[in-house]
Amino acid sequence: MRRALQGLLFTYCLQEQLSAAQDFEVVEAPLFGRVSGQLAVAREQARVAELKTGEAVQEARVWARVKTGAEAEKEEARHVIEQAHVELDRSERLAGLASELQQQLATDGARQGGGNAGSGPVTAGRAGGSLPTSPRSPVGPMQRAARLARQAADLEEESKRVEAQACYLHREAAQLGELARQKQVKADELELDAAQLEQAADNLEQSVAAALEEAQKEYQARAVQFSLMTFCKLSAEDKQREAGQLERRVKQLTSEAYQLVKQADARAAQAEADLPGAEQAAQHAEAARSALTQARRDAQLLSQRSQQLTGDAEKKMAGAAALAQRAFEKAQESFSVKKAALLEAPEAAGEGAAAGPTTPEVAPQAQRLAGELERVQRGRAAAELHASQLIGQAHEKVAHASRLEHSAERSAEHVRRVLADAAQAHAQEGEALERAQRAGEAASSLAGERMAEQWIALTRTPEWRTLAARFPATIRQLSAAAAAGGDGEGGGAASHVEWVGSGGERHDEAT
C-alpha cells in the first residue's frame, strides 16, 4: 500500500505540472501578449524621443553656426560704421576747409573788385573766353574751393550711404542673433521634452516590468489554485505514464553523466599515457638544444681556427713570395755571371785552369734556389688546400648546427602540442565532470521539489484526511519513511502529513 501511494503521488506530480503548463499557455498567453505590446510601444516611443533629441541637437548646432556668422557680420558692420565715422570726420574737415577758402575768396574778391573789373575783358580776350587760371586770380581758388566742396559733399554722401549700409547690417545681425537665440531656446525646449520623453519611457518600462512581475505572481497563484482544483480529476494511468517518463529521463541523465565521466576518464588516461612521450620529447628537445649549443660553439671554434689558419697561410704565402723574389734575383745574378763567364772564355783560353771553377760554382747555387722556389710554391699550394678544407669543414659544421636547430624547434613544437592536448583533455574532463554533477543535481532537485510539492498538496486533500482518519498507524509509518529518505522539503511534507494524520478534524475546521 505504501508503494502504491508513493507511485500515485509521483504520477500526480508529473501530471499536475503538465496541466499547469498547458493552462498557462491557454489562459495567461494573451496577458503576456498585451504586456509585450505595451513594452514594444514604450520602446518605440523611446526611440522616437531619441530621434527627436538628435534632430534638436543637430538644429541647435546649425543655429549655433548661424549665430556665429551673425556675430561675424555684426563685427564687420561695426568695422564699417567705424570707417564711416572716419570718412564723415574727414568730410567735415574738408567742408570746413572749403568754407574757410570760400570766405577767404570772398574777402579777396571784395578787396580786389576794381582792378579785376578793368583787366577782365583783356584777359578774357587773350584766353579765348575761358576763365583765368593764374594763382593770383581769385577764380582759381574758387574753383579749388568748389571742387573741395563737391568732394566734401560726395564724401558726406558716401559716408551717409556707408553708415546706412552699416546700420542695415547691424539690424540684420541683431535680427539673426535674436533668431539664433529663439532657436537655441527652442532647442533647449526640445532637449527638455526629449528628457521628459526618456523619463516617461523609463517609467513606462518600469511599469511594464512591474506589470510583468504582477502577472507572473498572478500566474503562479492561478497555477497553484488550478493544480489544487484539478488534482482529483487526474487518472492513475496518466500519472503512471508521466512517472515512467520522468524515471526514464532521470536514467537518461544518469547514463549521460556516466558516459561523460567515462569519456573524461579515458581522456585522462590518454593524457597520462601521452605524458611519458611528452617527457621524452622534452628530454629530446633539451638534448637537441644542448647539441645545438655545442654545435654552435664548435662552429665558432672552427671559424676562429679557419681564420687563424687563413692568416698563417697568408703569412706563409707572403714569405714564399719574398723567397721567390729572392730566388728570382739570385737566378738573374747567376745568369748574368754565367753569361759573363761564357763571354770571357774565348779571350782567356790560356787561363782556363784558373777561370774554369767559376761555372761549376754558379750552377749549384741556381739549382738550390730553384729547388727552394719549388718547395715554397708547394708549401703555398698545400697551405691553400688546407685552408680550403678547413673552410669547407666549418661550413659543414654550420649546416649541421642549423639542421640540429631546426630539429630542436620541431621537437619543441611537438612538445608544446602534446602539452596543449593534455591541458585540453584535462579541461574537457573537468567540464564533463561539472556537466555530470549539474545534471545529477538538477535531476535530484527537480524530483525532490516536485515530490515535496505534490506530497504537501496530497496531504491537503479530503481523501488523504479520510485515509489518515481510517489508517493513522500506516500514515505515521509512511510519513516517517518519507522523512528518513527525503530532503528538507520531504521533511516538511512528512511533518505536515503527521500533523494532518493526528489532527484531521482541526485541519477541516481551519480550512
* CATH number, residue 298: 1.10.287
Asked whether residue 156 falls in the same domain as residue 297, the answer is no
Residue 75 lies in a domain: yes
Asked whether residue 222 falls in the same domain as residue 324, the answer is no
Q: Print the domain residue range for 378.
A: 236-342+359-442
Q: Which residues of 363-386 are buried (b: 16+ CB within 10 A; e: fewer)?
A: eeebeebeebbeebeebbeebeee
- Cell reading at 126: 587773350
Give me the torsion for CA of 391, 395, 398, 399, rounded to 10°.
-170
Residue 268 lies in a domain: yes
How far apart, in whole angstroms, are the C-alpha atoms of residue 6 and residue 458?
11
How far apart, in whole angstroms, are the C-alpha atoms of residue 162 and residue 288?
96
Angle between helices 462-470 and 488-502 (to 10 degrees): 70
Last residue of a domain, one of 183, 202, 233: 233
Of the candidates 158, 163, 151, 152, the one whose C-alpha atom is nearest the C-alpha of residue 85 is 163
The CATH number assigned to the domain holding 155 equals 1.10.287.950
pLDDT digits (tens, 9 = 90+) for 188-208: 777 777 677 777 767 777 776
Asked whether residue 73 falls in the same domain as residue 161, the answer is yes
How far apart, in whole angstroms, are the C-alpha atoms of residue 442 and residue 250?
10
- Cell reading at 56: 534638436
**Do 176 and 69 contact (CB within 8 A), yes or no?**
yes
- Per the prediction, the chain carries an average pLDDT of 68
Asked whether residue 183 falls in the same domain as residue 254, the answer is no
Residue 5's pLDDT band (boundaries 50, 70, 90)? low
Of the candidates 373, 359, 292, 301, the one whose C-alpha atom is nearest the C-alpha of residue 330 is 373
Is residue 496 over pLDDT 70?
Answer: no
Residue 6 lies in a domain: no
- How many Cβ atoms are within 10 Å of 501's Cβ, its own excluded? 23
Instruction: Say what percent of the chain tops pLDDT 90.
Output: 0
Residue 469 lies in a domain: no
Is residue 268 over pLDDT 70?
Answer: no
pLDDT at 414: 75
pLDDT at 194: 67
Residue 409 lies in a domain: yes
Asked whether residue 168 falls in the same domain as residue 293, the answer is no
Asked whether residue 186 falls in the same domain as residue 52, the answer is yes
Is residue 172 over pLDDT 70?
Answer: yes
How far apart, in whole angstroms, are the C-alpha atoms of residue 355 and residue 358?
6
Last residue of a domain, one of 215, 233, 251: 233
pLDDT at 327: 67
Asked whether residue 181 falls in the same domain as residue 257, the answer is no
- How many Cβ atoms are within 10 Å of 478's Cβ, its own excluded? 21
Number of folded domains that form the chain: 2
What are phi and psi for residue 287, nearest 5 degrees? -65, -40
Instruction: Say what percent of the chain tops pLDDT 70.
Output: 59
pLDDT digits (tens, 9 = 90+) for 241-263: 776 777 787 777 777 767 776 77
Residue 432 lies in a domain: yes
Residue 126's pLDDT band (boundaries 50, 70, 90)? very low
Asked whether residue 263 falls in the same domain as residue 221, the answer is no
Q: Which amino acid is at 348?
A: A
Asked whether residue 225 falls in the same domain as residue 253, the answer is no
Asked whether residue 338 falls in the same domain as residue 324, the answer is yes
Residue 425 lies in a domain: yes
pLDDT at 66: 78
Residue 387 lies in a domain: yes
Asked whether residue 229 falls in the same domain as residue 246, the answer is no
Last residue of a domain, one of 378, 412, 442: 442
Asked whether residue 299 falls in the same domain as residue 256, the answer is yes
